[in-house]
C-alpha cells in the first residue's frame, strides 16, 4: 500500500498544529509548506514517517528526532536535529550553529556548510557535512562520527572524548586534546559507509582522521597548559 | 612572679594565631603546596553568611489575629506551572527535593528520595546523567532536568516527566559545570552518560544549543512542542544577579523560576568556586520577587528558593519573602543518613569527622549515599531512608504551619514580609525588612 501523502501548510496552520499532526502519525509522507523560518518544526517525532519541509526553517528543526526521516529543502537555523536519537535529518542548504548538538544516534546530513559548534557534545550521532564546518565543531564530542568534505574552522574537536572526525579539506586548528590519527582500513570502511549513506561519492583516501589524545581524561597538574 | 629572686619577671603574651592566616587557611596552603591541585569537595558554602536565622517572625498581636495551633486549618498545597502548562504540578507541601544525579548519588539514595517525597506528596528531581528507573518508579512527581551536558537526555524521559527544569546554573557554582570524578564513573554511570568508564568527567558549563535569553525562549518553545505544552517548565539559576536573571527567565517563557543561593550544595567542584562565587540565598529572594512583582508575574510565575533550607522556619521565612516553594538537597541527604555521627569511626578513617565529611566526589561515603561502590551503597535501605525523609518533611511542614498560624495565616502562602523583622543590619538590607525594633530598612528608598 502506498503511504498516504499529506500536506501541512503553515500559511493556514500553526506550528503546534503541524507538529501535533506529525507527532500523532505512525506512518505516511508529509510535506510541510511555507515554513517561513519557523522554530521547532517537526521536533519530537517518534515514528518512521517521512517529512519534507519545503523551505527554510528556524531553530531546532527535527529536534530530538526518533525514527523519522526529515528533509529540509532550504537552510536550517541553530540546533537543527539537536539531541537526535535515531532516523535521518537532511538539510539541502546550509545549517547554522550547533548542528545535531548532543545527538545520540541517527544520521544528519548537510549538503551545504554548517556553522560553529557542529556536533557539539555529540553522543553517538553520525554527521556528514558536504561543505565546511565552523569553529569549535565536535567540541566535547563523546561518540559518533563527524565527516566534513570541506574545511574545518579553528579548535576542531576541543576536549573531545571518543567521537571520530574525518576532514577532507584543511583544519584551521585542532582544539585541546584533539590529534590527527592514522586513517587505517577499519576507519576507511566506516567512512565509506557514512559517505554512501549520506549520498556523497568521494574517495576516502582524501580524508584525514582526528580523535582524542586522551591526555585530559584524568586531571593532572602536568597538563595545566591545556586547561 | 619570677622563679629567680634576682631576675625581674617579664610578662609573656599568650600565643596568638592570625585571624587572616587561621588554622584552616594554613592547612589549605600546606595542602596546595604538597599536591599542586586545588581542593575539590561537595556541598555548599561553609563560611558564615547572612541567612534566614537572621530574621524573626513577629507573630500575632493587637493588630493580627492568630489561628488555633492544632485545630484551625492552615493549607500547605501549592500548584506550580500555572502560566503555560496544561498539566501543572500539584504539591501537597511547598518543599521539593532538589536535583541530584544518579552518579553523584547511589541508586538506593535516589530511590529513598523518591519514596520520601512521594509519601509527602511532593516532587523530586533528576540530575546530570538522566533519569533512572529507580527514581521514576518511586517518584510520583518527578522533575526532569535539561542540563548543559545533556547526558542521558532522552525525549521519552522528557515526555514521562511531570515537569522539566532547564538548568542554567546552581548556587554552589554559578557559571560552573558539573564534575564527577573517575572513582564514580562505574559501567552503569558511564553508559548513561556515553563516556569511557573511570575517566574524570567534567560537564559543560554552557548549553550546547542556546546562548542568552532570546535563544532560551526558543529552546523552551521546542521543549513545549515536544511535550505538547503539557509540562511545567522551570528555569533554575544560581543566585548571582537574581533580579535580572528572574526577569529574563520570565521573558524566556518559564512557568517556574528556581533560584539557588550559594549555600546550595553540589556533588563536587572546586572549594574556591563554592566559597567565592554567587550570593547568599537570603540576598537573592527579595530581588527575585521584585523582578516578578515589577512584571506583574508574582504568583503567576512561581518562585522556588533553595540553598541552605533546613527547617520549617527557613521555609516560612522564604515564603514570607515571596517564594511559592523551597527546594532542599543537603538537608534531604542528612535526613536519609549523610554525615551521621553513628559512622564517626569510619569518617575518622577518611580523615574527617561526622558533620564535616564533604569528599563526596571520592565515592567512599560510609553512609552509602554519595557513592557508586556497591558494598557501600547497599548499606542504605531505601525504604527506611525514605521514611526518615518523609518524617523530616512532615516536621518541616508542621513547623511551617505553626509559624503561619502564629502570624494569623490560614494558608502558608499568605505569609508576607510584614510578618518579619531582621536581627542584623545586613539581613535587614538583604531581605528588605526592618531591623528589629526600628522602622529602618537599609537601602530602602522609603
CATH number at residue A61: 2.160.20.60
**Residue B157, pLDDT above cutoff 80:** yes
- Residue A2 has a pLDDT of 66
- Residue B181 has a pLDDT of 77
| Chain B residues near residue A40 by CB distance under 8 angstroms | 218, 221-222, 225
Which grid coordinates belong to B136? 521514576
| Chain A residues near residue B227 by CB distance under 8 angstroms | 44
Closest CA to A148 of A78, A76, A82, A202: A202
Count Cα atoms within 13 angstroms, Cβ side, for B263: 23
* Per-residue model confidence as pLDDT tens digits over A113-167: 999 999 999 999 999 999 999 999 999 999 999 999 999 999 999 999 999 999 9
Report which secondary-structure segment, H or E, holds A195.
helix A185-198
* Domains contained in chain B, number: 1
- Residue B199 has a pLDDT of 84
| Chain B residues near residue A59 by CB distance under 8 angstroms | 209, 215, 218-219, 222
Contact between chains at A217 and B199 (C-beta distance less than 8 A): yes
**Beta carbons of B74 and B411 less than 8 angstroms apart:** yes
The arithmetic mean of pLDDT across residues B142-171, rounded, is 96
Q: Which of B151, B204, B226 sits opposite A63 (nearest CB)?
A: B226
User: Alpha-carbon torsion B247, B249, B253, B255, what sign?
Assistant: negative
Please enumerate in sequence order all residues whose Cβ is within 8 A of that of A197, keeping only pairs 6 or more positions apart, or say none: A107, A126, A128
Contact between chains at B218 and A221 (C-beta distance less than 8 A): no
Three-state helix/strand/coil letters over A107-152: EEEECCCECCCCCCCCEEEEEEECCCECCCCCCCCCEEEEEECCCE
Residue B261 to chain A, least CA–CA distance (Å): 28
- As a residue count, chain A comes to 227
- The CATH number given to whatever domain includes residue B220 is 3.20.20.70
Asked if the structure places residue B148 within a domain, the reply is yes
Contact between chains at B150 and A123 (C-beta distance less than 8 A): yes
Contact between chains at B196 and A161 (C-beta distance less than 8 A): yes
Contact between chains at A82 and B199 (C-beta distance less than 8 A): no
Residue A169 to chain B, least CA–CA distance (Å): 25
Contact between chains at A124 and B210 (C-beta distance less than 8 A): no
Residue B334 to chain A, least CA–CA distance (Å): 30
Q: Which of A40, A85, A140 sits opposite B221 (nearest CB)?
A: A40
- Which residue pairs from A191-194 have beta carbons closer than 8 angstroms and sit at least 24 positions apart in sequence? A191/A145, A191/A147, A191/A166, A194/A107, A194/A126, A194/A128, A194/A145, A194/A147, A194/A166
* Domains contained in chain A, number: 1
Q: How confident is the model at residue B318 (pLDDT cuts 50, 70, 90)?
A: very high
- Residue B189 has a pLDDT of 85
Contact between chains at A102 and B209 (C-beta distance less than 8 A): yes
Chain A interface includes B226 (CB < 8 A): yes
Asked if the structure places residue B48 within a domain, the reply is no
Complex ipTM: 0.96
Chain A interface includes B229 (CB < 8 A): yes
**Residue B444, pLDDT above cutoff 70:** yes
- Residue A226 has a pLDDT of 62
B55 beta partners? B422
Which residue range(s) make up the domain with A62?
Answer: 5-226
Contact pairs from chain A to chain B, CB under 8 Å: 96
Asked if the structure places residue B4 within a domain, the reply is no
What average pLDDT does chain A have? 96
Which residue range(s) make up the domain with B177?
Answer: 53-415
The arithmetic mean of pLDDT across residues B204-217, rounded, is 95
Residue of chain A minimizing CA distance to B193: A123
DSSP B241-267: SHHHHHHHHHHHT-SEEEEE-TTS-EE
Q: Which of A23, A162, A221 sits opposite B37 (nearest CB)?
A: A221
* Per-residue model confidence as pLDDT tens digits over B250-283: 999 999 999 999 999 999 999 999 999 999 999 9
| Chain A residues near residue B150 by CB distance under 8 angstroms | 83, 101-102, 121, 123
**Residue A91, pLDDT above cutoff 60:** yes
- Residue A4 has a pLDDT of 76
Residues of B numbered 116-155 whose beta carbons fall under 8 angstroms of chain A's beta carbons: which are they? 149-151, 153-155
* Per-residue model confidence as pLDDT tens digits over B407-420: 999 999 999 999 99
Q: How confident is the model at residue B197 (pLDDT cuts 50, 70, 90)?
A: confident
Q: Which of B182, B200, B218 sits opposite A59 (nearest CB)?
A: B218
Residue B133 to chain A, least CA–CA distance (Å): 19
Contact between chains at A221 and B208 (C-beta distance less than 8 A): no
Amino acid at each position: 500500500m502506498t503511504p498516504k501523502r499529506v500536506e501541512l501548510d503553515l500559511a493556514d496552520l500553526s506550528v503546534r498544529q503541524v507538529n501535533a499532526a506529525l507527532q500523532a502519525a505512525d506512518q505516511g509522507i508529509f510535506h510541510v509548506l511555507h515554513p517561513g523560518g519557523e522554530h521547532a518544526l517537526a521536533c519530537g517525532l517518534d515514528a518512521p514517517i517521512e517529512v519534507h519541509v519545503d523551505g527554510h526553517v528556524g531553530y531546532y528543526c527535527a529536534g530530538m528526532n526518533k525514527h523519522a526521516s526529515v528533509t529540509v529543502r532550504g537552510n536550517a537555523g541553530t540546533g537543527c536535529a539537536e539531541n537526535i536519537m535515531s532516523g535521518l535529518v537532511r538539510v539541502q542548504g546550509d545549517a547554522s550553529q550547533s548542528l545535531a548538538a548532543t545527538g545520540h544516534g541517527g544520521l544528519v546530513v548537510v549538503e551545504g556548510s554548517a556553522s560553529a559548534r557542529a556536533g557539539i557534545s555529540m553522543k553517538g550521532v553520525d554527521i556528514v557535512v558536504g561543505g565546511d564546518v565552523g569553529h569549535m565543531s565536535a567540541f566535547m564530542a563523546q561518540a559518533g562520527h563527524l565527516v566534513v568534505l570541506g574545511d574545518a574552522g579553528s579548535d576542531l574537536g576541543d576536549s573531545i572524548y571518543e567521537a571520530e572526525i574525518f576532514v577532507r579539506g584543511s583544519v584551521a586548528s585542532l582544539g585541546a586534546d584533539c590529534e590527527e590519527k592514522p586513517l587505517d582500513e577499519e576507519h576507511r570502511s566506516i567512512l565509506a559507509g557514512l559517505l554512501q549513506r549520506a549520498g556523497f561519492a568521494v574517495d576516502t583516501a582524501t580524508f584525514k582522521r582526528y580523535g582524542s589524545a586522551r591526555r585530559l581524561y584524568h586531571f593532572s597538574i602536568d597538563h595545566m597548559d591545556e586547561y | 612572679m619570677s622563679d629567680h629572686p634576682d631576675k625581674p619577671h617579664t610578662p609573656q603574651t599568650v600565643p596568638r594565631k592570625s585571624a587572616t592566616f587561621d588554622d584552616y587557611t594554613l592547612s589549605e596552603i600546606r595542602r596546595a603546596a604538597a599536591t599542586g591541585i586545588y581542593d575539590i569537595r561537595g556541598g555548599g558554602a561553609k563560611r558564615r553568611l547572612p541567612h534566614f536565622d537572621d530574621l524573626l517572625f513577629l507573630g500575632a498581636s493587637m493588630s493580627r489575629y492568630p489561628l488555633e495551633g492544632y485545630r484551625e486549618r492552615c493549607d500547605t498545597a501549592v500548584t506550580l506551572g500555572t502560566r503555560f502548562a496544561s498539566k501543572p504540578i500539584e504539591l501537597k507541601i511547598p518543599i521539593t527535593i532538589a536535583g541530584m544525579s544518579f552518579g553523584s548519588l547511589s541508586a538506593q539514595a535516589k530511590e529513598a528520595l523518591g519514596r520520601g517525597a512521594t509519601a509527602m506528596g511532593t516532587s523530586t528531581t533528576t540530575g546530570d546523567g538522566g533519569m533512572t528507573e529507580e527514581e521514576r518508579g518511586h517518584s510520583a512527581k518527578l522533575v526532569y532536568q535539561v542540563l548543559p551536558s545533556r547526558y542521558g537526555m532522552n525525549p521519552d524521559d522528557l515526555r514521562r516527566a511531570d515537569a522539566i527544569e532547564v538548568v542554567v546554573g546552581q548556587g554552589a557554582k554559578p557559571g560552573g559545570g558539573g564534575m564527577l570524578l573517575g572513582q564514580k564513573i562505574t559501567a552503569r554511570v558511564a553508559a548513561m552518560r556515553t563516556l569511557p568508564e573511570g575517566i574524570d568527567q567534567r560537564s559543560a558549563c554552557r548549553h550546547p544549543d542556546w546562548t542568552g535569553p532570546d535563544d532560551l525562549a526558543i529552546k523552551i518553545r521546542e521543549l513545549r512542542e515536544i511535550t505538547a505544552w503539557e509540562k511545567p517548565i522551570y528555569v533554575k539559576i544560581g543566585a548571582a544577579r537574581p533580579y535580572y536573571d528572574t526577569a529574563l527567565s520570565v521573558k524566556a517563557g518559564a512557568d517556574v523560576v528556581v533560584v539557588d543561593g550559594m549555600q546550595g550544595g553540589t556533588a563536587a567542584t572546586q572549594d574556591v568556586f563554592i566559597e567565592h562565587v554567587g550570593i547568599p540565598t537570603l540576598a537573592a529572594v527579595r530581588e527575585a520577587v521584585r523582578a516578578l512583582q515589577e512584571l506583574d508575574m508574582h504568583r503567576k510565575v512561581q518562585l522556588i528558593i533553595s540553598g541552605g533550607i533546613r527547617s520549617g522556619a527557613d521555609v516560612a521565612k522564604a515564603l514570607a519573602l515571596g517564594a511559592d516553594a523551597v527546594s532542599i538537597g543537603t538537608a534531604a541527604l542528612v535526613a536519609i543518613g549523610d554525615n551521621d555521627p553513628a559512622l564517626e569511626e569510619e569518617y575518622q578513617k577518611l580523615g574527617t569527622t561526622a558533620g564535616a565529611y564533604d569528599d563526596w566526589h571520592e565515592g567512599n561515603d560510609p553512609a552509602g549515599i554519595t557513592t557508586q561502590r556497591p558494598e557501600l551503597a547497599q548499606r542504605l535501605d531505601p525504604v527506611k531512608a525514605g521514611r526518615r525523609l518523609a518524617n523530616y518533611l512532615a516536621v518541616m511542614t508542621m513547623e511551617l504551619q505553626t509559624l503561619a498560624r502564629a502570624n494569623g495565616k490560614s494558608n502558608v502562602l499568605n505569609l508576607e514580609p510584614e510578618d518579619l523583622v531582621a536581627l542584623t543590619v545586613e539581613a535587614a538590607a538583604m531581605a528588605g525588612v526592618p531591623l528589629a525594633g526600628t522602622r529602618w530598612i537599609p537601602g530602602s528608598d522609603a
